[in-house]
Amino acid sequence: MVFGKIEYLNLLPFHVFMKRFTRTAQESMSMHYYRDVPAKTNKKFISHRVDAAFISSIKAKNHKHVNLGIIAKKEVLSVLVVPHINNVNDTASETSNVLAKILNAQGEVLIGDKALRYYLQNKPHIDLAKMWNEKYNLPFVFALLCYHKDKKIYKKIEKNFLKSRIKIPRYILNEASTRTEISQKNILNYLKHISYRLDTKAKKGLAKFYKEALKA
């Protein structure tokens, strides 16, 4: 099976988990990874060239998924709008571009590690998840773990991941810090803002996003 792997820091705990999971599970022999940004992974998944991945919420609506996602309860630090006159989408994103439109946040959309680096420079920005929460008092779901087949495998991944306490090994944290040019301390602080459990309130936030996206 081909799993779409997005290398952003927000999925670092999940990648650590998957490394262990595929080492001990039967699925390890057949698990291959396709690496790219969210927008391109979405296209690969929809065309069935990827079997499962965290798919941007705006594209995940009509696909099977488990109760795992990339969720911000309040602020997220890595999905921003840089205020200026012209609206500019982030080509790596799809959900965040729609979210900026819903919230009428004017400027340039930035997502992922480059957005986190920008945030850490204390430059002017709008945190879209924070803005969403202030407006609707709901979490924002940026992506869902979607799959085409083998539901039992992904339910097993969901169950085991959600009950695990993921400790990121120092060498992996160091590699991530070197790759992203973000300190280990800032990475760990950032990850406190990310949730993965698609609970009842997150589902309400997702339903609200789909409703508002139709109007945008």
CA distance 216 to 214: 6
Q: Give the model confidence (pLDDT) of 72-121 as tens digits.
A: 999 999 999 999 867 888 778 889 999 999 999 999 999 999 999 999 99
Q: Give the model confidence (pLDDT) of 142-156 as tens digits.
A: 999 999 998 999 999
Q: What is the domain-level CATH number for residue 45? A: 3.40.190.10
| Two structure tokens written together for 52 | 């499962």
Residue 36 backbone phi and psi in degrees, to 5: -170, 180
The residue segments making up the domain with residue 68 are 2-200
Residue 209 lies in a domain: no
Residue 134 lies in a domain: yes
Residue 208 lies in a domain: no
Number of separate domains in the chain: 1
Question: Sign of torsion, CA 166 9 116 76?
Answer: negative
Residue 65 lies in a domain: yes
CA distance 144 to 64: 9
Neighbours of 204 (CB within 10 A): 15
Half-sphere exposure of 112 (CA within 13 A, CB side): 18
Residue 88 lies in a domain: yes
Residue 108 lies in a domain: yes
Residue 211 lies in a domain: no
Distance, first Cα to last Cα, the chain: 36
Question: Sign of torsion, CA 140 101 95 174?
Answer: negative
Indicate if the pLDDT at residue 5 is higher than 90.
no
CA distance 128 to 101: 10
Residue 212 lies in a domain: no
| Two structure tokens written together for 180 | 């992203």
Indicate if the pLDDT at residue 28 is higher than 70.
no
